Amino acid sequence: MLLENNPYTSLWNKYRPMILKLMVDSEKDPQQYKLFSHEFKAVGIKEKTGYSFVLEVYQGKAVNKIKGSTVARDLLSVLQQSQKAFQLMNAAVYELKMDKQFMFHVTRKVEAVQPEPVPVAEV
Protein backbone atom coordinates (compact mmCIF):
# COMPACT_ATOMS: atom_id res chain seq x y z
CA MET A 1 0.00 0.00 0.00
CA LEU A 2 1.27 3.49 -0.88
CA LEU A 3 0.66 4.95 2.59
CA GLU A 4 2.90 2.38 4.28
CA ASN A 5 5.83 3.08 1.95
CA ASN A 6 5.28 6.85 1.85
CA PRO A 7 3.54 7.76 5.12
CA TYR A 8 4.38 11.50 4.97
CA THR A 9 3.35 12.06 1.34
CA SER A 10 -0.11 13.44 2.10
CA LEU A 11 1.36 15.77 4.73
CA TRP A 12 4.01 17.09 2.33
CA ASN A 13 1.36 17.48 -0.40
CA LYS A 14 -0.56 19.73 1.98
CA TYR A 15 2.54 21.90 2.44
CA ARG A 16 3.69 21.78 -1.21
CA PRO A 17 2.36 25.25 -2.22
CA MET A 18 4.13 26.81 0.77
CA ILE A 19 7.36 24.93 0.04
CA LEU A 20 7.31 26.08 -3.61
CA LYS A 21 6.79 29.68 -2.47
CA LEU A 22 9.73 29.36 -0.06
CA MET A 23 11.88 27.94 -2.86
CA VAL A 24 11.01 30.88 -5.14
CA ASP A 25 11.53 33.43 -2.36
CA SER A 26 14.86 31.87 -1.34
CA GLU A 27 16.43 33.41 -4.44
CA LYS A 28 16.89 36.59 -2.37
CA ASP A 29 17.34 35.23 1.16
CA PRO A 30 17.03 31.90 2.99
CA GLN A 31 13.45 31.24 4.05
CA GLN A 32 11.84 29.45 6.97
CA TYR A 33 8.40 28.30 8.05
CA LYS A 34 7.19 26.74 11.30
CA LEU A 35 5.56 23.34 10.79
CA PHE A 36 3.30 21.63 13.34
CA SER A 37 4.97 18.78 15.22
CA HIS A 38 1.65 17.10 16.01
CA GLU A 39 0.99 16.56 12.28
CA PHE A 40 4.20 14.57 11.87
CA LYS A 41 3.67 12.64 15.10
CA ALA A 42 0.07 11.85 14.05
CA VAL A 43 1.40 9.86 11.09
CA GLY A 44 2.24 7.29 13.76
CA ILE A 45 5.70 6.29 12.61
CA LYS A 46 8.51 6.91 15.06
CA GLU A 47 11.60 7.96 13.15
CA LYS A 48 14.81 6.48 14.57
CA THR A 49 16.68 9.71 13.94
CA GLY A 50 13.76 11.94 14.90
CA TYR A 51 11.96 14.02 12.31
CA SER A 52 14.77 16.46 11.52
CA PHE A 53 16.63 16.12 8.22
CA VAL A 54 18.71 17.93 5.63
CA LEU A 55 17.84 17.34 1.99
CA GLU A 56 19.93 18.85 -0.79
CA VAL A 57 18.25 18.60 -4.18
CA TYR A 58 19.37 19.29 -7.72
CA GLN A 59 17.75 18.22 -11.00
CA GLY A 60 15.03 16.39 -9.09
CA LYS A 61 17.45 14.18 -7.16
CA ALA A 62 18.91 14.16 -3.67
CA VAL A 63 22.54 15.30 -3.67
CA ASN A 64 23.13 14.04 -0.12
CA LYS A 65 22.20 10.77 1.61
CA ILE A 66 18.60 10.65 2.84
CA LYS A 67 18.17 6.88 3.02
CA GLY A 68 17.68 6.97 6.81
CA SER A 69 14.91 9.59 6.76
CA THR A 70 11.45 8.60 5.57
CA VAL A 71 10.35 12.22 6.12
CA ALA A 72 13.00 13.51 3.67
CA ARG A 73 12.39 10.74 1.12
CA ASP A 74 8.67 11.48 1.06
CA LEU A 75 9.34 15.21 0.65
CA LEU A 76 11.59 14.49 -2.33
CA SER A 77 8.91 12.24 -3.82
CA VAL A 78 6.31 15.03 -3.56
CA LEU A 79 8.69 17.58 -5.11
CA GLN A 80 9.47 15.24 -7.99
CA GLN A 81 5.77 15.23 -8.90
CA SER A 82 5.64 19.03 -9.15
CA GLN A 83 6.53 20.64 -12.46
CA LYS A 84 7.30 23.96 -10.75
CA ALA A 85 9.59 22.29 -8.19
CA PHE A 86 11.36 20.45 -10.99
CA GLN A 87 12.00 23.75 -12.84
CA LEU A 88 13.40 25.30 -9.65
CA MET A 89 15.58 22.26 -8.90
CA ASN A 90 17.00 22.40 -12.42
CA ALA A 91 18.00 26.04 -11.97
CA ALA A 92 19.81 25.70 -8.63
CA VAL A 93 20.77 23.46 -5.72
CA TYR A 94 18.35 23.79 -2.81
CA GLU A 95 18.89 22.81 0.78
CA LEU A 96 15.61 21.85 2.47
CA LYS A 97 16.00 21.30 6.17
CA MET A 98 13.70 20.61 9.10
CA ASP A 99 15.19 21.08 12.56
CA LYS A 100 14.19 19.47 15.87
CA GLN A 101 11.76 22.33 16.56
CA PHE A 102 9.97 21.59 13.25
CA MET A 103 11.22 24.81 11.68
CA PHE A 104 11.47 24.22 7.93
CA HIS A 105 14.36 26.04 6.21
CA VAL A 106 14.89 26.57 2.47
CA THR A 107 18.21 27.84 1.15
CA ARG A 108 19.06 28.32 -2.50
CA LYS A 109 22.70 27.31 -2.55
CA VAL A 110 24.23 27.31 -6.01
CA GLU A 111 23.09 28.37 -9.43
CA ALA A 112 23.11 25.60 -12.00
CA VAL A 113 26.13 25.86 -14.25
CA GLN A 114 25.10 26.54 -17.82
CA PRO A 115 27.57 25.25 -20.42
CA GLU A 116 29.43 27.98 -22.25
CA PRO A 117 28.43 28.27 -25.91
CA VAL A 118 31.16 27.05 -28.19
CA PRO A 119 32.11 29.75 -30.70
CA VAL A 120 31.75 28.70 -34.30
CA ALA A 121 34.96 29.20 -36.24
CA GLU A 122 34.57 31.32 -39.34
CA VAL A 123 35.71 29.73 -42.56
pLDDT at 2: 42
Task: Tell me the per-residue pLDDT of 4-14, one tens digit each, with 9 for 90 and over.
Answer: 588 999 999 99
Task: Tell me the per-residue pLDDT of 58-92, one tens digit each, with 9 for 90 and over.
Answer: 999 999 999 889 999 999 999 999 999 999 999 99
CA–CA dist 59, 92 (Å, integer): 8
CA–CA dist 96, 30 (Å, integer): 10
pTM of the model: 0.85
* Long-range pairs of 29-33 with CB within 8 A, sequence gap ≥ 24: 30/105, 30/106, 30/107, 30/108, 31/105, 31/106, 31/107, 32/103, 32/104, 32/105, 32/106, 33/103, 33/104
